């Protein structure tokens, strides 16, 4: 659409000169041209009240005078309504422009291409080892990965970091629980489940025997002082957990560039604490060391506990400094639940007070809570739904549906479809919501083949694949002639893709991409049902419609890859 925005702006600029003798630069007009709230008014609109001051006329007068002066040969027509100039873009002109670009640019069509030479570091997923990897982590995992894909698409160098929660008092608890009630074989066999069980048992027993908490603290302190037995046990627990997470990541198609977790920063914190002290930023409060943030309307940021041990913010500060030294990032993105918003605001402020030049390159991307079938999750009571179980349930269900629909399908194909569609359904359902909104996860809804779901859009993609497979080598038309509203809608949707991608990146909002996918899938399905494609009477029409299908296939595929959705050729 931007090409047409530019064209319209140029025409309006010269019409303003001819009608009113005014000089308005076309470049200033471009951002004023917006999408009308109701598409029946037009494809684009210019609210003329924004020109009232310069042209010294009422919006109604401006619109009425400019509309007829814009000409009819620019690939659009203009009409005046209530002080607005409404523009309708000619379908054929739009198709020529947009489809031409899709075929020329292929899978890079839509890329803002503004990231070359810049680096983004993304910190996401980052589960806490020994605690369950539950569906509360779905948000950080898939939003983070999708943002990485989006930035990569724009040409940035991206570094995906899984900042494992592999340090902290929970390891003291795990060590105590394992020594009291655990067995090596049971844990190796049961992996994370067995660890979580031990962790939960610790909490149950500690309610009656609070002295267990002291034991746990003591074991963690030993670990901090490199006690060999505890260190070995800690490594083993981290390893077992990591192996299991990797299975889930593989299902989701996610890879990380770094797994440096919290433990890695143990020896990097003293330098930061020293710097804070030298700068006079540390204050003692009831024995603890803090940075007072009352001038900024925030509670103090805790740096050292009474006993001198470090805290979550201390580690984050050390990690950010290390990442800057290592990667020289232009942006560092942290994706976590909004429950951690204050934590990030606090230490972002602290590093800015420390005078770090990269402080303003840090971005926190928060998201809302997840409940399942209306129930909130609680780790300690054991009322959790593990991410692997949710994905497993989705895969099983798709497998059953596919088996019913296609009893003759070979098991390997069926398994692949089940994975692609089951995992895709969960991811798509999650990413369909504005990230900050709380989500209630209902598997039935996510897996429905109707409605705005993963299976629906993957089905649409498969439909475009089979149509293209059927038509063989149909050449492109001489010129695109758009005859129906359905074709025009699809082309309009394709035209909006670059803007949607840019908006998704600017707002760190993958849901803009999922919404785009739904819009394009819906427009394509309407076109598919109402327009004859291969059987259209005129060969030029066949060519135009096959070209539209090809472009939809390419752009849907690109959009899928931005939101961790697999391209399904068969479903």
CB of 218 to ligand ARG, least distance (A): 23
Residue with smallest beta-carbon separation from ligand ARG: 165
The structure tokens listed for 306 are: 């009474």
CB nearer ligand ARG, residue 80 or residue 135: 135
Q: Contacting ligand ARG (CB under 6 A), which of 139, 165, 168, 477?
A: 165
What's the CA gap between 13 and 32, in Å, rounded? 12
CB of 264 to ligand ARG, least distance (A): 12
What's the CA gap between 173 and 380, in Å, rounded? 13
CB nearer ligand ARG, residue 128 or residue 554: 128
CB of 166 to ligand ARG, least distance (A): 9
- Binders of ligand ARG among 281-320, rule CB under 6 A? 316
509 binds ligand ARG (CB under 6 A): no
Which residues share a beta bridge with 81?
A: 84
CB nearer ligand ARG, residue 227 or residue 246: 246
CB nearer ligand ARG, residue 46 or residue 362: 362
Q: How many residues form the binding site for ligand ARG (CB under 6 A)?
A: 9
How far does CA 292 lie from the centroid of its chain?
A: 34
Contact 132, 360 (CB under 8 A): no
336 binds ligand ARG (CB under 6 A): yes
CB nearer ligand ARG, residue 128 or residue 514: 128
CB nearer ligand ARG, residue 96 or residue 313: 313
464 binds ligand ARG (CB under 6 A): no
CB nearer ligand ARG, residue 82 or residue 341: 341
256 binds ligand ARG (CB under 6 A): no
Nearest alpha-carbon partner for 445 in 372, 370, 354: 372
How far does CA 455 lie from the centroid of its chain?
A: 19
Q: What are the C-alpha distances in Å from 192 to residues 132, 134, 161, 203, 206? A: 7, 11, 21, 17, 21
162 binds ligand ARG (CB under 6 A): no
CB nearer ligand ARG, residue 78 or residue 333: 333
163 binds ligand ARG (CB under 6 A): yes
CB of 369 to ligand ARG, least distance (A): 13
Contact 88, 485 (CB under 8 A): no
CB of 125 to ligand ARG, least distance (A): 8
Contact 468, 549 (CB under 8 A): yes
CB nearer ligand ARG, residue 388 or residue 463: 388
Which residues share a beta bridge with 76?
A: 89
Write down the residue that tokens 């692997």 correspond to: 388
What's the CA gap between 191 and 377, in Å, rounded? 21
CB nearer ligand ARG, residue 164 or residue 423: 164
CB nearer ligand ARG, residue 170 or residue 460: 170
How far does CA 202 lie from the centroid of its chain?
A: 36
CB of 344 to ligand ARG, least distance (A): 8
166 binds ligand ARG (CB under 6 A): no
What's the CA gap between 315 and 25, in Å, rounded? 51
Nearest alpha-carbon partner for 545 in 497, 97, 107, 537: 537
Q: Contacting ligand ARG (CB under 6 A), which of 324, 334, 429, 512?
A: 334
20 binds ligand ARG (CB under 6 A): no
CB of 33 to ligand ARG, least distance (A): 40
CB of 335 to ligand ARG, least distance (A): 8
- Binders of ligand ARG among 213-242, rule CB under 6 A? none
Residue 71 half-sphere exposure toward CB, CA atoms < 13 A: 14
Q: What are the C-alpha distances in Å from 324 to residues 76, 208, 269, 321? A: 49, 46, 15, 5
Interhelix angle 184-208/169-181, rounded to 10 degrees, is 110
Q: What are the C-alpha distances in Å from 75 to residues 88, 97, 112, 231? A: 9, 10, 24, 70
CB nearer ligand ARG, residue 430 or residue 480: 430
128 binds ligand ARG (CB under 6 A): yes
Q: What are the C-alpha distances in Å from 294 to residues 278, 317, 339? A: 20, 19, 20
CB of 128 to ligand ARG, least distance (A): 5
CB of 331 to ligand ARG, least distance (A): 14
422 binds ligand ARG (CB under 6 A): no
132 binds ligand ARG (CB under 6 A): no
CB nearer ligand ARG, residue 112 or residue 313: 313
CB of 381 to ligand ARG, least distance (A): 18
What's the CA gap between 86 and 63, in Å, rounded? 9
Write down the residue that tokens 């993958």 correspond to: 510
DSSP assignment string, 214-243:
HHHHHHHHHHHTT-HHHHHHHHHHHHHHHH
CB of 190 to ligand ARG, least distance (A): 22
CB nearer ligand ARG, residue 77 or residue 379: 379
259 binds ligand ARG (CB under 6 A): no
Rg (CA), the chain: 28
The 107-126 contact track toward ligand ARG, x by CB under 6 A, reads ----------------x--x
What's the CA gap between 443 and 448, in Å, rounded? 9
Of the chain, the end-to-end C-alpha distance in Å amounts to: 33
Query: Which residues would be at the binding site for ligand ARG (CB under 6 A)?
Result: 123, 126-128, 163, 165, 316, 334, 336
């Amino acid at each position: 659409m931007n090409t047409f925005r530019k064209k319209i702006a140029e025409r309006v600029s010269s019409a303003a000169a001819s009608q009113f003798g005014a000089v308005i630069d076309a470049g200033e007009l471009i951002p004023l041209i917006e999408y009308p709230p109701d598409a029946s008014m037009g494809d684009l609109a210019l609210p003329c009240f924004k020109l009232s001051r310069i042209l010294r006329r009422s919006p109604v007068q401006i619109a009425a005078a400019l509309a007829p002066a814009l000409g009819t040969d620019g690939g659009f027509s203009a009409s005046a309504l209530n002080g607005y100039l409404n523009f309708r873009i000619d379908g054929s002109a739009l198709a020529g422009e947009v489809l031409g670009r899709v075929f020329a640019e292929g899978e890079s069509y839509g890329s803002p291409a503004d990231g070359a030479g810049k680096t983004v570091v993304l910190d996401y997923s980052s589960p806490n080892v020994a605690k369950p990897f539950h569906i509360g982590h779905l948000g950080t995992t898939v939003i983070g990965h999708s943002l990485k894909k989006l930035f990569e698409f724009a040409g940035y160098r991206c570094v995906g970091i899984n900042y494992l929660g592999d340090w902290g008092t929970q390891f003291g608890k795990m060590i105590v629980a394992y020594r009291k009630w655990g067995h090596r074989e049971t844990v190796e066999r049961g992996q994370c489940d067995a660890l979580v069980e031990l962790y939960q048992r610790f909490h149950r027993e500690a309610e009656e025997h609070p002295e267990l908490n002291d034991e746990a603290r003591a074991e963690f302190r030993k670990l901090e002082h490199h006690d060999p037995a505890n260190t070995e046990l800690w490594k083993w627990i981290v390893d077992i957990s990591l192996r299991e997470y990797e299975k889930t990541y593989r299902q989701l198609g996610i890879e990380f560039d770094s797994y440096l977790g919290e433990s890695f920063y143990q020896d990097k914190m003293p330098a930061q604490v020293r710097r804070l002290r030298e700068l006079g930023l540390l204050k003692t409060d009831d024995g603890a060391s803090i940075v007072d943030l009352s001038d900024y309307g925030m509670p103090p940021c805790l740096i050292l506990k009474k006993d001198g041990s470090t805290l979550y913010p201390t580690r984050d500060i050390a990690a950010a400094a290390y990442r800057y030294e290592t990667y020289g990032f232009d942006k560092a993105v942290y994706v976590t639940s909004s429950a951690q918003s204050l934590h990030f605001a606090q230490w972002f402020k602290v590093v800015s007070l420390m005078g770090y030049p990269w402080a303003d390159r840090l971005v926190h991307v928060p998201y809302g809570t997840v409940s399942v079938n209306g129930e909130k999750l609680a780790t300690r009571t054991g009322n959790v739904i593990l991410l692997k179980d949710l994905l497993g349930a989705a895969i099983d269900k798709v497998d059953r549906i596919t088996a019913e629909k296609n009893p003759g399908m070979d098991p390997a194909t069926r398994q692949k479809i089940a994975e692609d569609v089951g995992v895709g359904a969960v991811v798509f359902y999650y990413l369909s919501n504005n990230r900050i909104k709380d989500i209630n996860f209902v598997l039935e809804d996510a897996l429905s083949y109707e409605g705005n779901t993963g299976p629906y859009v993957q089905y649409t993609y498969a439909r475009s694949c089979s149509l293209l497979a059927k038509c063989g080598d149909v050449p492109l038309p001489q010129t695109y002639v758009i005859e129906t509203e359905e074709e025009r809608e699809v082309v309009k949707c394709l035209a909006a893709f670059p803007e949607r991608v840019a908006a998704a990146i600017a707002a760190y909002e993958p849901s803009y991409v999922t919404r785009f996918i739904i819009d394009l899938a819906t427009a394509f399905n309407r076109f598919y049902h109402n327009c004859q494609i291969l059987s259209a009477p005129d060969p030029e029409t066949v060519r135009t419609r096959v070209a539209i299908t090809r472009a939809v296939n390419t752009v849907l595929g690109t959009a899928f890859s931005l939101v961790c959705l697999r391209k399904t050729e068969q479903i």
